[in-house]
Amino acid sequence: MTALDDPAWRLFEQRFGALRRARQTETLLTFAAIVLLFVAAAVWTDFLPDKVADGVPRIGEYFGKLFTIEPTRGAEPVGVLSLSHLFGGVKQPQSVAYWFYRIDVYVALLWQTIQMAILATALGFAAAFAVSFPATRSLVGSGAAVFVTRRCLELMRTVPQVVLAFILVWPFGIGPLAGILAIAIHTTGTLGKLFCELNENAERGPVDGIRATGGSWLAQMRLGVVPQVMPGFLSYALLRFEINVRSSTIIGFVGAGGIGQELKRVIGFNIYEEVSAIVILILLIVVAIDLASEQIRRRFIGAMA
C-alpha cells in the first residue's frame, strides 16, 4: 500500500484542499471588495479617466512656462533649457537668478516661518509639560482629572490645525499669530499624549523615595519623574519641531503668516518663476531642518540617555 492510498493521507489532502479553497475565496472576496470600493469612490468623486486626462497636459504646462521665454510679447515661446541659460544671471529671463529675484523677501519670510515653528513648539512643549503630569494615571489619585485632561488633549490634536488657524484668523487677525496659536494647540495635544506615555513608563522608585522623605507632590514630580523623562520629552519635542516647520510653511494658505501666505499669492497670480523659487526654498528648508534635528538628536539626546 502506497502513502497515497492511506485514508489518513486522503483525509489530509481533502482537508488541506478545503482550507486552501476557503482562503483563496477569502482573498478573492477581499480583493473584489477593494476594487468595488475603488470604483464606487471614483464615480462618487467624478475621478473618471477622461476628466483626469483632460487636466494632465496642463501639469506639463507649468514646466513649459518655466523653461521657455517669449522673445517678444505674444510671440511663440522658445525653449531655453540649457545650463548656460539656467545660470545666466538676473537679467536673463527664466534663469535661476531670475526666479529668485525677490530672494531677500523670501528669506525674511522663511525666517519668520521658522520662528513661528520655534515659538509654537516652545509654547506647545510648555503646555504639554504642565498638563502631562495631572494626565498620567500612575501619578495622580483622581481618575476624573486624568479623564478630563486626556479628552482635552484628544480634542486639541484631532481638530486639523489648518482649520484651527482659519478660525483663529478671525479673532486674532491675518498674520503669524493665528498660525502660531493653531500649531501650538495642536502640538500641546500630540506632545501631551506622548509625554503621558513616558510618565507612565517612568520608574516608581525615585517617586516613592521622595515621598518617603516627605516631599510634596510637586517635589515628587520635579525630582522623581522629570529627570527620568526629560531626555524623552526633548527628543519628542525636536521631532515635533520638524513637523511644525512643515506645518508653518503651509499654514499661511489660510492667511496665518509665513511663506505659505506668499506661495498662495504667487500661485493665485500665476507668477511661475516665483512659484518655483518658493517651492525650491521650502524643500531646501524642510530637508535642512530634518538633517539638523537628526544631528542634534544624535549628539545631545544620545549623550543624555
| Footprint of another protein (CB under 8 A) | 30, 34, 37-38, 40-42, 44-47, 51-52, 54-56, 58-59, 61-62, 115-116, 118-119, 122, 155, 158-160, 162-163, 166-168, 170-173, 176-177, 180-181, 246-247, 249-250, 253-254, 263-264, 267, 270, 279, 282-283, 286-287
In the complex with another protein, which residue's Cβ is closer, 207 or 259? 259
Q: Measured in whole angstroms, how far is the alpha carbon of residue 185 from the centre of its chain? A: 15
**Rounded-to-integer distance, Cα 99 and Cα 277, Å:** 6
In sequence order, the β-bridge partners of residue 69 are 78
Minimum distance of another protein from residue 144's CB (angstroms): 22
Minimum distance of another protein from residue 10's CB (angstroms): 27
Spatial CB neighbours of 162, under 8 Å, sequence gap ≥ 6 = 182, 250, 251, 253, 254
Single out the residue of 277, 234, 300 nearest to residue 99, CA to CA.
277
In the complex with another protein, which residue's Cβ is closer, 12 or 38? 38
Single out the residue of 238, 225, 221 nearest to residue 301, CA to CA.
238
Minimum distance of another protein from residue 161's CB (angstroms): 8
In the complex with another protein, which residue's Cβ is closer, 41 or 148? 41
Minimum distance of another protein from residue 238's CB (angstroms): 13
In the complex with another protein, which residue's Cβ is closer, 139 or 176? 176
Q: Any idea which residue has 518655466 for its cell?
A: 66
Single out the residue of 133, 158, 299, 288 nearest to residue 224, CA to CA.
133
Minimum distance of another protein from residue 1's CB (angstroms): 30
In the complex with another protein, which residue's Cβ is closer, 55 or 214? 55
In the complex with another protein, which residue's Cβ is closer, 85 or 233? 233
Minimum distance of another protein from residue 66's CB (angstroms): 12
Spatial CB neighbours of 190, under 8 Å, sequence gap ≥ 6 = 157, 240
Q: What is the dihedral of CA 205, 206, 207, 212, to 10 degrees?
A: 90
